[in-house]
Amino acid sequence: SSPNPRPAESGKRRPSVGVQIGKVIVGSGAPIVVQSMTNTDTEDASSTAKQIAELARAGSELVRITVNTPAAAAAVPRIRERLEMMGVDVPIIGDFHYNGHQLLESEPACAEALAKYRINPGNVGFGKKKDSQFAAIIEMALRYDKPVRIGANWGSLDQSMVATLMDENHTRAVPWDASHVAREALIRSALDSAQRAEEIGLARDRIILSCKVSGVQELIAVYRDLAARCDYALHLGLTEAGMGSKGITASSAALAVLLQEGIGDTIRISLTPEPGASRTGEVIVAQELLQTMGLRAFTPLVTACPGCGRTTSEFFQELAKTVQEHVREQMPLWRVKYDGVENLTLAVMGCVVNGPGESKHANIGISLPGNGEAPSAPVFIDGEKAMTLRGDNIANEFVGILDNYVAS
């Protein structure tokens, strides 16, 4: 195959076989699913259930937890019970490496409580044991009627596959470079494992694939190739994306290119949180990525200008922040009460240069007075100037106008 084909016309979703995970469908044209992963010790059922609930309430539609020890496997049904008591029914995915076959076999309640199993074909065993250990996990998936994600990772490449490809490379007229060999190892490892899973009896609509790497260009190349070579549903993610703005930028750059080409049925943004910071940041970034691309809508988006020498104070930035935070806080209630509220657009602008024009494009927009402008803030509702706010209470009044608009 070509190392870097473009499988989908821009804007069209790549056809894929849909996979049901609990109540969530991944693939077959279903809305692209946001997922995330906990960083608590799974053996600590209380902390893990609490974090899963936080992620789910932030909008994570699937949550993955590591299942790495017998105690962690034993904790899984207790985590499920705690979530039920909290009224949270998000599907939980078990992430297995090295000993998944043993843990699923020895803890039937864990195998039952999980909604999906993730298998890393590079970490499922070595040598002669590899095939039997992989088969054991697939047989557990069949016994408990669970889907699996076969998730290959650049950091844990199947070394026997790399060795095979290096041997093949010696026979090529123009040998592949090391990066191409690694990409092919990743893809073939996922595809061969999926084929093996089907031979054991797992249906195509029980299999999701991923091939994660940490470089933007490599990820794009790998997924274009993988997407062209199969119709399994695909999980997208830039692994080890990093902290803060670097992680957000790299993940968005890579995933946006692929999503624009119709590739990807579920996404995870793998951000390294600041010490002590909430894990929910990666869920918000994933939602904003999908929403700003026009692929899904989760919450009203606030358009705000960057501000410049025309802005008279920090009040404009504070108002933009107040409005964004207010919307996020209200969304759990608004989503239940007001159909379609997530599609609203809001504008908070720093002066009249672009303020009224941008406000007219939004459902509700406000332009604060800039340098040398009259101390008044025109508010536009559905493209028409509706009122002008003045004085010290503009922020509260504007939030009140927003609440009334949503309620109406």
Q: Which two tokens stand for residue 37?
A: 């992963």
Contacts with ligand SF4, 257-296, as mask; x by CB under 6 A: ----------------------------------------
Binding residue per annotation — 308? Answer: yes
Which residues have a Cβ under 8 Å from the Cβ of 168 and sit 6 or more positions away?
Answer: none
Q: Compute the least distance from the CB of residue 234 to ligand SF4, in Å.
A: 39
| Residue 378 in contact with ligand SF4, rule: CB under 6 A | no
Are the C-beta atoms of 65 and 94 separated by less than 8 Å? yes
CB of 345 to ligand SF4, least distance (A): 16
Is residue 369 within 8 A of residue 351, CB to CB? The reply is: yes
Q: Taking the complex as a whole, how short is the minimal distance between the CB of residue 391 and ligand SF4, in angstroms?
A: 20
DSSP track, 30-97? PPPEEEEE--S-TT-HHHHHHHHHHHHHHT-SEEEEE--SHHHHHHHHHHHHHHHHTT----EEEEE-
Residue 110 marked in a binding site? no
- Would you say 64 and 36 are in contact if contact means Cβ atoms under 8 Å apart? yes
Closest CA to 209 of 249, 258, 153, 256: 153
- Name the segment binding ligand SF4 (CB under 6 A); options: 20-28, 98-106, 125-133, 299-307: 299-307
The sheet carrying 377-381 orders its strands as: 301-304, 345-349, 364-367, 377-381, 384-389
Q: Site residues for ligand SF4, window 134-193 (CB under 6 A)?
A: none
* Least distance CB 152 / ligand SF4 (angstroms): 45
Q: Considering only residues 276, 306, 340, 391, which one is a binding residue for ligand SF4 as defined by CB under 6 A? A: 306
Whole-angstrom CA distances from 403 to 51, 241, 326 are 30, 37, 10
305 lines the binding site for ligand SF4 (CB under 6 A): yes
Residue 227: name the closest of 24, 21, 36, 17 by CA: 17
Cβ distance to ligand SF4 smaller for residue 295 or 395: 395
Dihedral over alpha carbons 189, 195, 201, 207 (to 10 degrees)? 70
* Stretch near ligand SF4 under the rule CB under 6 A, chosen from 206-214, 262-270, 287-295, 302-310: 302-310
**Measured between alpha carbons, how far is 23 from 266 in angstroms, rounded to an integer?**
14
Q: Which residues pair with 35 in a beta bridge?
A: 62
Question: Which of 370, 398, 402, 406 lies at the binding interface for ligand SF4 (CB under 6 A)?
Answer: 370
Q: Exactly one of 21, 148, 259, 349 binds ligand SF4 (CB under 6 A); which one?
A: 349
CB of 354 to ligand SF4, least distance (A): 4
Per CB under 6 A, 311 contacts ligand SF4: yes
- Asked if 351 is part of the footprint of ligand SF4 (rule: CB under 6 A), the reply reads yes
Nearer to ligand SF4, 200 or 353 (CB): 353
Binding residues for [4Fe-4S] cluster: 305, 308, 351, 358
Q: Where do contacts with ligand SF4 occur on this chain (CB under 6 A)?
A: 305-308, 310-311, 349-351, 353-355, 370
